[in-house]
């Protein structure tokens, strides 16, 4: 059991119970974050016990929405129990089970494993988590995932972090791509600067963020025994990228030799994209 003066975590093998207390919440609105991040990292179904809550702050509601969002991406559920009428009004939209016994009964049939998660879901989860952590709680929303059907050599953004991934069967690439204004706003937010353009000081951020995102994704993907190896992320300026030099082939692998999935994200500072290039032979393994 992990606890502080504001909440307690009761960790079970397949789920976590988060007990909330409101006696001192107003003194420390950030007190919930530590528990939220612990739950996200473990990615278990979560029951939130509100029996000791009479009210809740806007900050705590935001933290709980982020928790629910992240666990949904990991195909996990969040259920609230023992909510007062006042809390039920403030937490409208969250899933309510009523009692702990009912929540446990409903969770019994929901337990899934990381092996059910495909690459796209893992990357979405990792991207949203890393941007929230690294960019002062920047919350991002995923748009509709689509297969790129034209302009395969043209990236979605003006600056990108590119990482090439090697498995025992095939190579693929992940690209974190930002339009110029989104990237500048993101770097200013992270570095507390007021830059007006992409420059030598901030351009490394694209590769660094790609590296952190892949690091989080790899923790999940390696549970499927993929034994992933990745290159050092590289910065690519401009939208034209003709292909990749994978170590396996020693030759340029053009975009048209495979497929590209585009994952768009929106945020308060602008849009950005994660692009995943893979050989056609790997489509079933990566996307199913």
Half-sphere exposure of 247 (CA within 13 A, CB side): 10
CATH number at residue 210: 3.40.1550.10
Asked if residue 122 and residue 52 are part of one domain, the reply reads no
- Secondary structure E strands in the chain: 2-3, 7-11, 15-21, 45-52, 78-81, 96-98, 141-142, 146-147, 159-166, 171-178, 229-230, 234-237, 243-245, 252-254, 258-267, 270-279
Asked if residue 163 and residue 132 are part of one domain, the reply reads yes
Asked if residue 242 and residue 123 are part of one domain, the reply reads yes
Asked if residue 151 and residue 243 are part of one domain, the reply reads yes
pLDDT tens digit string along 22-68? Answer: 645 445 667 788 889 889 888 888 999 887 787 888 888 889 999 98
How far is it, in rounded angstroms, from Cα 237 to Cα 47?
45
Residues of the domain holding 166: 115-287
Number of domains in the chain: 2
Asked if residue 178 and residue 138 are part of one domain, the reply reads yes
Asked if residue 263 and residue 145 are part of one domain, the reply reads yes
Asked if residue 52 and residue 142 are part of one domain, the reply reads no
Q: Answer whether residue 1 shows pLDDT above 70.
A: no
pTM: 0.64
Q: Answer whether residue 234 shows pLDDT above 80.
A: yes
For the chain, the straight-line distance linking the first and the last C-alpha, in angstroms and rounded, comes to 36
Of 54, 77, 107, the last residue of a domain is 107
Asked if residue 89 and residue 26 are part of one domain, the reply reads yes
How far is it, in rounded angstroms, from Cα 94 to Cα 218?
30
CATH number at residue 88: 3.30.750.24
Asked if residue 237 and residue 197 are part of one domain, the reply reads yes
pLDDT tens digit string along 115-171? Answer: 334 788 888 888 988 898 888 888 888 888 888 887 778 899 999 999 998 887 788
State phi, psi for 277 to the nearest 5 degrees. -100, 135
Of 77, 107, 137, the last residue of a domain is 107
Asked if residue 123 and residue 102 are part of one domain, the reply reads no
Asked if residue 196 and residue 54 are part of one domain, the reply reads no
Helix axes 58-73, 119-134, angle to 10 degrees: 160
Asked if residue 196 and residue 247 are part of one domain, the reply reads yes
Q: Cβ-count burial of 73 within 10 angstroms (0-12 exposed, 13-18 middle, 19+ buried)?
A: buried
């Amino acid at each position: 059991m992990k606890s502080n003066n504001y909440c307690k975590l009761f960790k079970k093998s397949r789920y976590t119970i988060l007990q909330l207390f409101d006696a001192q919440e107003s003194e420390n609105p950030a007190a919930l974050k530590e528990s939220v991040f612990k739950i996200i990292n473990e990615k278990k179904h979560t029951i939130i016990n509100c029996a000791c809550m009479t009210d809740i702050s806007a900050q705590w509601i935001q933290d709980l929405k982020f928790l629910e969002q992240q666990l949904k991406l990991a195909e996990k559920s969040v259920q609230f129990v023992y909510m007062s009428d006042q809390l039920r009004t403030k937490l409208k939209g969250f899933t309510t089970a009523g009692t702990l016994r009912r929540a446990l009964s409903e969770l019994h049939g929901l337990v899934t494993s990381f092996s059910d998660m495909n690459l796209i879901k893992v990357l979405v989860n990792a991207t949203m988590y890393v941007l929230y952590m690294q960019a002062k709680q920047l919350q991002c929303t995923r748009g509709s995932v689509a297969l790129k059907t034209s302009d395969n050599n043209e990236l979605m953004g003006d600056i990108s972090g590119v990482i090439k991934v090697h498995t025992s069967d095939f190579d693929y690439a992940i690209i974190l791509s930002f339009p110029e204004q989104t990237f500048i706003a993101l770097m200013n937010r992270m570095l507390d600067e007021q830059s007006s353009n992409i420059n030598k000081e901030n351009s490394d951020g694209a590769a660094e963020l790609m590296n952190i995102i892949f690091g989080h994704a790899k923790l999940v993907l390696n549970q499927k025994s993929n034994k992933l190896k990745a290159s050092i992320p590289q910065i690519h300026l401009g939208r034209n990228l003709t292909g990749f030099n994978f170590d396996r082939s020693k030759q340029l692998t053009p975009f048209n030799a495979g497929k590209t999935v585009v994952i768009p994200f929106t945020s308060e500072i602008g849009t950005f994209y994660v692009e995943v290039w893979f050989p056609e032979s790997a489509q079933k393994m990566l996307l199913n």
